[in-house]
Structure 1
């Protein structure tokens, strides 16, 4: 049986972006007993909206902001993913991800710099 998962990344290098909601792309992988295979990059519309916002502005944790994040999660079609592997997940994005039925798997910089490196470390959690 295979599962799909998402990882917030910078670009085709599959370098992980720490702030999930601000990652330009989500790398989509399909994982099974043989490992994880990269499928595609999907644009994160939320990051695109904020690409010129270089401050550390944090949206309030409100129903409106959760719905806003959720619309971007749905637009990236992340609902087909069982997991999202990430370093940091703000409360709005976390609630949006959970609403879509996606389970976050938290990792640290020590787990690797790229999605394939990190997936090798977390593969036991992908059941």
Structure 2
């Protein structure tokens, strides 16, 4: 029996922010064996449509909330301008999505701290060397 890795381990990506770097990420997904672009969201009128048309993506949203409410989305790539990373990162975490955020993650340490959500189910394992 052969396992089709593409079907078993496919990650459905959503992009938040439809600027130039989002185009680079979307193009890279075309060559991925484990990821596909499922949806794009932009608050700037027409930008999600333009990027979605370029990459043949059916789902496009005018709000981040709509994309994050889409149960087909496993992970989101946040490519908004740097000062606008905080809000979509927090929203995506609250929606239970996996997150990849363009660098820099935040504008300062305070914003970064707001993005880190403690998970009581997460167990840290420390490997100690002798």
TM range (shorter): 0.3 to 0.5
TM (normalized to structure 2)? 0.36
Higher relative contact order (CA 8 A, sep 6+): 1
TM (normalized to structure 1)? 0.37
Structure with bigger strand share is 1
